[in-house]
Amino acid sequence: MNKFVKKNMMLLIVSGITLIVALILAYMAVREHSAMQDYIRETDTLKNQIKDLIKQKPAPVEGNLDRIKNDTQKYKNKFKEIRVLFGMPLYPAMSKFAKDMGSNFEEFQAKFATFWESNKASGVTRDQVYRMFKNSYNNPEKWDKAIQDFTVEAQKCTSELIDENNVDEILLSGLGLERNLSGSKVKCDAFMRGIRWKLLDLYTADKDKKIEFGPTASSFSFDSKSLPDKEAIPFIVKCWTAVDDLAKRIAGSGITYLESFEKESLAGRVVGNYTFYRFTIIVQGDLNSIRKLIDILYKAYSERRIYIVRGISLAKVNDDAERLIMEAERTLYAGKINLDENPELKPAQSPADGPPDAQKQKEKEQRLQEQKKKDKADEDPEKNIPYYQRSTYGKVIIGTDKQCRAVIDLDYVVYTALDLKG
């Protein structure tokens, strides 16, 4: 053995080193294989995450960026379509006018807004700017034809009579300039009275479906006894636009009584690019007419009016059950104080009172006799018949009166971003 070792010392040394290297390499191979398996698992996890991301809509990959941009532009265009629904009833009339002038409303309004900002100045009236803008088209016949078409369309959305005296100012309001009625208190008063009288005629036109008013409802929350303040005129015109439309929708619902019509404020509540005009109305009618009113308000968007019903409470006008209870209580009470049937309840006459007046006593007896005859006439002829054989058996006595009273809080919403200053 020793000889073998001595003779093969070098071989054994090389073999030992080779074995050690082989073990080291085997260890390293196992470790690298384990690391490779970890990398494989991580890769699979990333693949699954990528698949999940691709399934999302829209997939956040470069190929979808164009689609995202296109969708964004579509949303912007849709916003332009939707915004004209918010308190812009003149939009169809303005669109017709712009079309007659060879444009569309958006382009025409933007052109006027630019012209207005460039030409408004201290000492220059809006009428002067309007005439300058009109003359810039250098086609009075075309303009007059467009004005005629505008008048026809605009008249459909207001109770105010539109004629040559106010059509230019109404056109300017459609372009973004608030109406001020030339700052005239008298014109403003005439404006309010004209619309109010039209509404009153509408409410009383049909005798069979005439709508009654509460003590102050016919004024539609405006004081008609005094002239308005000059500073309030633009706000009055805007608010009456909402009042006019709301009152007409109430009239078309079938309600029978407008108990109250109140506004929260004249100027409304501004939130961003929108103004909210809050109204509280109290109406009476059957449940179907109240439902119809709410439905009419919600569908007003088709005519570019937006109403938001914030709250509604309903109650019966007449409670049949309560009425029956009260009648029963009155009957019982009357029976308790019937002095003819309960002589012991008659007060004793004091000797100091002296003898009763003969004439008064006679009148009292006559009244008692008349009351007895009336009670006998009113007595149910079927009183002594079993209840199940009476003609009224099975008749509904509770719930026959369908009149309801509704208190409705609502907002009329107007988009104001296109309004021009000055």
pLDDT in tens, 381-415: 666 777 556 676 666 555 555 789 999 999 999 98
**Is the same domain home to 109 and 81?**
no
Tokens of 420: 């021009």
Is residue 330 one of the residues assigned to a domain? yes
Low-confidence ranges of the chain (pLDDT < 50): 344-345, 350-354
Domain range enclosing 71: 62-86
**Is the same domain home to 71 and 148?**
no
pLDDT confidence of residue 221: 92
pLDDT confidence of residue 18: 81
Cβ neighbours of residue 107 under 8 Å, at least 6 residues apart?
A: 98
pLDDT confidence of residue 102: 93
Is residue 228 one of the residues assigned to a domain? yes
Is residue 374 one of the residues assigned to a domain? no
pLDDT confidence of residue 44: 81
Is residue 82 one of the residues assigned to a domain? yes
pLDDT confidence of residue 223: 84
**Is the same domain home to 108 and 42?**
no
Cβ neighbours of residue 398 under 8 Å, at least 6 residues apart?
A: 320, 321, 324
**Is the same domain home to 31 and 171?**
no
**Is the same domain home to 296 and 419?**
yes
Is residue 284 one of the residues assigned to a domain? yes
Residue with tokens 């029956």: 324
**Is the same domain home to 158 and 258?**
no
CB 184 within 8 A of CB 163: no
Q: Number of structural domains, the chain? A: 4
Largest CA distance in the chain: 171
